[in-house]
Amino acid sequence: MKKILRLSFLIMLLFTLAACSSSSKSEEAKLSSDSSVAMDSGRAGMVEKPEASFDNNAKQDEVTPTDLDAPNQMVIYQADLQLRVKKFEETLQSIEDHVGKYGGYITESTISKDGVEQVSGSITVRVPQNSFQAFLRDAEGQAAEVLQRRITGTDVTEEYVDLGSRLKSKRVVEERLTTFMESAVKTEDLLKISADLAAVQEEIETILGRMKFLENQTSLSTVHISLYENKVIVPNLEDGDLNTWDKTKKQFMKSTNMLLAGISGLVVFLLGNLPILIILIVAGLAIYFYIKKISARNRNE
**pLDDT per residue as tens digits for the range 260-288:** 888 888 888 888 888 888 898 888 888 98
Average pLDDT over residues 44-51: 35
pLDDT at 257 over 80: yes
**Residue 9: its pLDDT value, please?**
52
Question: What letter would DSSP give residue 273?
Answer: T
pLDDT at 55 over 70: no
**172-224 per-position pLDDT tens digit:** 999 998 888 888 888 888 889 889 989 999 999 999 999 999 999 999 999 99
The answer, as to whether pTM is greater than 0.85, is no
* Partners of residue 85 on adjacent β-strands: 229
Q: Look at residue 35 and tell me if it is in a domain.
A: no
> What is the number of structural domains in the chain?
2
What's the half-sphere exposure (Cβ side, CA atoms, 13 Å) at 232?
Answer: 1
Confidence of residue 100 (pLDDT cuts 50, 70, 90): very high
**Residue 289: its pLDDT value, please?**
85
Average pLDDT over residues 100-110: 92
What does the mean pLDDT of the chain come to?
A: 76
Lowest mean pLDDT among 57-66, 77-86, 126-135, 290-299: 57-66
Confidence of residue 40 (pLDDT cuts 50, 70, 90): very low
pLDDT at 32 over 80: no
Q: Look at residue 143 and tell me if it is in a domain.
A: no
pLDDT at 107 over 70: yes
| Angle value at C-alpha 274, between 270 and 280, nearest 5 degrees | 110
Q: Look at residue 32 and tell me if it is in a domain.
A: no
| Angle value at C-alpha 94, between 120 and 136, nearest 5 degrees | 85
Q: Do 212 and 248 sit in the same domain of this protein?
A: no
Confidence of residue 103 (pLDDT cuts 50, 70, 90): very high
Average pLDDT over residues 21-40: 41
Q: Do 170 and 211 sit in the same domain of this protein?
A: yes
Q: Do 201 and 243 sit in the same domain of this protein?
A: no
Nearest CA to 140 out of 98, 197, 89 is that of: 98
Q: Look at residue 209 and tell me if it is in a domain.
A: yes
Average pLDDT over residues 293-299: 80
Percent of the chain whose pLDDT exceeds 70: 71
What is the domain range of residue 258? 238-281
Q: Do 168 and 209 sit in the same domain of this protein?
A: yes
Put the strands of the sheet holding 220-229 in their side by side order: 105-114, 118-128, 220-229, 75-85, 145-155
Q: Look at residue 259 and tell me if it is in a domain.
A: yes
Gap between the Cα atoms of 279 and 272, Å rounded: 14
pLDDT at 76 over 90: yes
**Residue 114: its pLDDT value, please?**
75
Lowest mean pLDDT among 40-44, 98-102, 153-157, 167-171: 40-44
Residues 72-103 as b or e (16 or more Cβ within 10 Å = b)? eebebbebebbbbbeebeebbebbeebbeeee
Q: Look at residue 108 and tell me if it is in a domain.
A: no
**Angle between helix 187-219 and 157-183 (nearest 10):** 160
**Residue 271: its pLDDT value, please?**
85
Q: Look at residue 158 and tell me if it is in a domain.
A: no
Gap between the Cα atoms of 99 and 193, Å rounded: 51
Q: Look at residue 261 and tell me if it is in a domain.
A: yes
Confidence of residue 126 (pLDDT cuts 50, 70, 90): very high
**239-251 per-position pLDDT tens digit:** 545 567 778 878 8
**Residue 4: its pLDDT value, please?**
52
